[in-house]
């Protein structure tokens, strides 16, 4: 499925592109920073899906929708929830309220993907259940459901599992990308947690089993957004 992003904010393009890279069946056609660029792109290229912002200069996202000759799928990405009803009246597929999580983004994508054959209901990326990790001069098979949390510690990364802890030279950022489509969340520059293993959240820390994980000041919004989208 070929997609384009129509948004006047560069950061919105980076976020959506980052999410789309996790889904191999999405291919970017182009980036448009206003409605007129979008019109030109659609005149010259095939576009199956548009991630569309509403509040843009000169011609709004909804004005663009009303002038379109072709009928690609539309996922609105907006910071304004009050326009959602008007969007659905224009037959959009979904309305994502900024900022949105990958889980909420994937839910929107599943609404627009057409089945490959009559027996399939949704086309979704195959979910990984395990991966291999070098540590302690061995190669360990890590079952994703066994992960409690991950901690960056100097030049090492500690992966805490239900039964053991493995120390690896793998960077926490690469593990974050690997687990992006699973039930994991970065809550601190040094910590990624399995959200389904949370026991309690109190103040600025999370309890998982007998471990206490701090919540970083700049990551609090991620945690809040996660629970809003559950």
CATH number for 160:
2.40.50.1020
On whether both 104 and 181 belong to a single domain, the answer is no
Helix (H) or strand (E) holding 96, with range, is strand 94-97
* Burial class of residue 4 in the structure, from the number of CB atoms within 10 Å of its CB (0-12 exposed, 13-18 middle, 19+ buried): buried
Is 118 among the domain residues? Answer: no
- What is the reported pLDDT for 19? 92
Is 164 among the domain residues? Answer: yes
Q: Are 193 and 187 in contact (CB under 8 A)?
A: yes
Helix (H) or strand (E) holding 122, with range, is none
Q: Are 217 and 168 in contact (CB under 8 A)?
A: no
Range of the domain at 224: 130-228
On whether both 105 and 164 belong to a single domain, the answer is no
On whether both 95 and 143 belong to a single domain, the answer is no
- What is the reported pLDDT for 181? 62
Is 121 among the domain residues? Answer: no
Is 151 among the domain residues? Answer: yes
On whether both 107 and 174 belong to a single domain, the answer is no
Tens-level pLDDT at each residue, the chain (230 residues): 899 999 999 999 999 999 998 888 899 999 999 888 988 888 888 899 999 998 887 788 888 888 876 678 999 999 888 878 877 878 888 999 988 898 899 999 998 885 444 433 344 444 568 888 888 788 888 999 999 999 999 889 999 999 999 999 989 998 988 887 668 899 999 999 999 999 999 989 999 999 999 999 888 887 877 776 55
CATH number for 36:
3.40.50.2300
Alpha-carbon distance values, 227 to 59, 101, 160 (Å): 34, 10, 23
Is 117 among the domain residues? Answer: no
Q: What does the pLDDT look like over 91-107, one tens digit per residue?
A: 888 999 988 898 899 99
Nearest partner of 7 among 46, 45, 64, judged by Cα? 64
Q: What pTM does this model have?
A: 0.51
How far the first Cα of the chain sits from its last, in Å, is: 27
Count the domains in the chain: 2
From 112, 138, 165, the end of a domain falls on: 112
């Amino acid at each position: 499925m070929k997609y384009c992003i129509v948004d006047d904010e560069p950061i919105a393009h980076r976020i959506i592109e980052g999410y789309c890279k996790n889904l191999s069946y999405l291919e970017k056609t182009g980036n448009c920073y206003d409605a007129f660029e979008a019109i030109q792109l659609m005149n010259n290229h095939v576009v199956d899906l548009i991630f569309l912002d509403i509040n843009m200069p000169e011609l709004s996202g909804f004005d663009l929708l009303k002038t379109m000759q072709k009928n690609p799928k539309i996922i609105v990405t907006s910071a304004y929830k009050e326009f959602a009803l008007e969007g659905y009246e224009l037959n959009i597929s979904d309305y994502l309220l900024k900022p949105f999580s990958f889980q909420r983004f994937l839910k929107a994508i599943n609404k627009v993907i057409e089945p490959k054959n009559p027996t399939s209901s949704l086309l979704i990326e195959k979910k990984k259940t395990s991966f291999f990790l070098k540590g302690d001069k061995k190669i360990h098979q890590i079952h994703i459901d066994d992960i409690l949390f991950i901690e960056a510690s100097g030049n090492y990364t500690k992966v805490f599992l239900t039964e053991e802890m493995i120390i690896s030279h793998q960077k926490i950022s690469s593990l974050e990308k690997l687990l992006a489509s699973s039930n994991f969340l970065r809550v601190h520059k040094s910590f990624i947690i399995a959200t389904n293993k949370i026991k309690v959240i109190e103040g600025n820390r999370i309890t998982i089993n007998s471990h206490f994980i701090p919540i970083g000041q700049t990551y609090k919004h991620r945690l809040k957004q996660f629970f809003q989208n559950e």
